């Protein structure tokens, strides 16, 4: 049995294009893959407070936390444990204003700490997580690379690539679900175009 952590960054439930693509992926999984779904817009994610930022610094420097810092830091370590326990990852990520939804950024800010999800030495950062990740990007428009060059308005893919590399996820596969606002036919077309890639990626998890 392996564990897949499915992180959903769309608040739009079943109508979400990213989640419709995710459903193609999860429907193709074998019984050996257990899915743990985290809906970021429904989860009660903690705020990054004074105490959490203080705890982050103290933790990194090996200093003792006070009682309130320790209490708030335990919410962080619970989220980090859930993240590290996964063997593979599926992210459903809408494009919001050229980038990722704020709840996904909040989650990343909550779980990304030296000594917990990455470490670093003279060779640079090294991730403490591992396993393959599928990143599904849903976008109203088309931000495909043109002439081999990345679209200058696409801050979703470069950011998620940098962050997944920092925490150690590998390999990272990106699935583009685009032109989702060009009407129902365009949505069906983009989902159909990505169907076999999604199924192949899901089958690869065993």
Ligand X SMILES: Cc1cc2nc3c(=O)[nH]c(=O)nc-3n(C[C@H](O)[C@H](O)[C@H](O)COP(=O)(O)O)c2cc1C
Q: Which residues bind ligand X (CB under 6 A)?
A: 10, 12, 16-19, 94-98, 138-141, 180-181
Nearer to ligand X, 19 or 72 (CB): 19
CB of 175 vs ligand X, minimal distance in Å: 12
Asked whether the CA dihedral 136, 139, 142, 148 is positive or negative, the reply is negative
CB of 39 vs ligand X, minimal distance in Å: 12
CB of 194 vs ligand X, minimal distance in Å: 13
Nearer to ligand X, 16 or 194 (CB): 16
Nearer to ligand X, 91 or 118 (CB): 91
CB of 40 vs ligand X, minimal distance in Å: 12
CB of 170 vs ligand X, minimal distance in Å: 25
Concatenating the DSSP letter of every residue in 84-150 gives: HH-SEEEEEEE-BTTB--HHHHHHHHHH--BTTTEEEETTEEEES--S-EEEEEE-SS----BTTB-
Nearer to ligand X, 164 or 180 (CB): 180
The span from the CA of 107 to the CA of 82, in Å, is 12
Nearer to ligand X, 23 or 75 (CB): 23
Residues in contact with 117: Cβ distance below 8 Å, sequence separation at least 6, in sequence order: 80, 83, 84, 111, 127, 128, 129, 166, 167, 168
């Amino acid at each position: 049995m392996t564990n897949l952590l499915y992180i959903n960054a769309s608040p739009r439930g079943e109508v979400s294009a990213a989640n419709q693509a995710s459903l193609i992926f999860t429907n193709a999984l074998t019984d050996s893959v257990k899915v743990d779904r985290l809906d970021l817009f429904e989860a009660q994610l903690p705020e990054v407070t004074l105490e959490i930022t203080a705890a982050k610094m103290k933790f990194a420097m090996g200093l003792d936390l006070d009682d309130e810092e320790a209490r708030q830091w335990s919410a962080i370590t619970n989220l980090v444990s859930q993240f590290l326990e996964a063997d593979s990852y599926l992210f459903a990520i809408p494009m919001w204003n050229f980038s990722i939804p704020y709840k996904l950024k909040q989650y990343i800010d909550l779980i990304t700490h030296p000594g917990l999800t990455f470490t670093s030495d003279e060779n640079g950062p090294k991730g403490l997580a591992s396993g393959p990740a599928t990143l599904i990007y849903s976008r109203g428009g088309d931000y495909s690379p043109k002439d081999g060059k990345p679209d200058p308005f696409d801050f979703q893919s470069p950011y998620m690539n940098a962050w997944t590399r920092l925490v150690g996820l590998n390999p990272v596969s990106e699935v583009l679900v685009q032109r989702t606002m060009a009407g129902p036919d365009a949505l069906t077309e983009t989902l159909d175009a990505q169907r076999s890639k999604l199924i192949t990626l899901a089958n690869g998890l065993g």
